[in-house]
Amino acid sequence: MTGGNRVTVKTQIALTINSTPYTVDSGLSQTLLGLLRDDLGLTGTKEGCGTGDCGACTVLLDGKPVNACLVLAVEASGTEVLTVEGLVVGGELDPIQSAFLAEGAVQCGFCTAGMLMVSKALLTENPTPTEPEVRQAIAGDLCRCTGYVRIVRAILRASEASAAGRGN
């Protein structure tokens, strides 16, 4: 977005995004979402409402899910950011991604990145969540296709898949 006649003060920040270190110049009012999408071209993270209501822009900041539209880029300085583009490791889909595909939890796909990221945070912290815990975890993520049942099923499936992988 052009700043018009406003003075744009830029500051240099260093952060890690999807295991890659970046040093970037960011305007002081730029959001983390703007940095990811506009400056770095990581458009997998979506902007839904831009006001922290819909969860579409959820990324993990040091492992915690945050709305990237409400975090200033400068606040993310020195942190590790994980976006949907970072879920594939070594050419392998994350089990959560495979589960979304297998359960038909993806429709228009606009909420998907946010849903995947909160699921990733949930299953990292709590590998065997109950269904209410899954619903609680995605409470901040709106799906306007209203595909919640399949999304919840996918997260539970991913949990079972990783439990089986661990031999539990």
Angle at CA of residue 147, ends 109 and 121, nearest 5°: 70
Minimum separation from the CB atom of position 4 to another protein (A): 5
Q: Which x/- pattern, by CB under 8 A, does the window 136-165 give for another protein?
A: ------------------------------
CA distances from 53 to 47, 56, 125, 162 (A): 11, 9, 23, 30
Which one of residues 61, 81, 82, 116 is an interface residue with another protein (CB under 8 A)? 116
- Site residues for another protein, window 53-112 (CB under 8 A)? 83-85, 87-88, 93, 97, 100-102, 104, 106, 109-110, 112
Nearer to another protein, 4 or 21 (CB): 4
Helix (H) or strand (E) holding 101, with range, is helix 95-102
Distance CA 123, CA 103 (A): 17
Sheet order of strands, 20-27 included: 20-27, 10-17, 80-82, 58-61, 64-67
**42 part of the interface to another protein, by CB under 8 A:** yes
Which residue lies nearer to another protein by CB, 14 or 88?
88
Q: Binding another protein by CB under 8 A: which of 13, 35, 37, 79?
A: 37
Residue ranges binding another protein (CB under 8 A): 1-2, 4-5, 37, 41-47, 83-85, 87-88, 93, 97, 100-102, 104, 106, 109-110, 112-113, 116
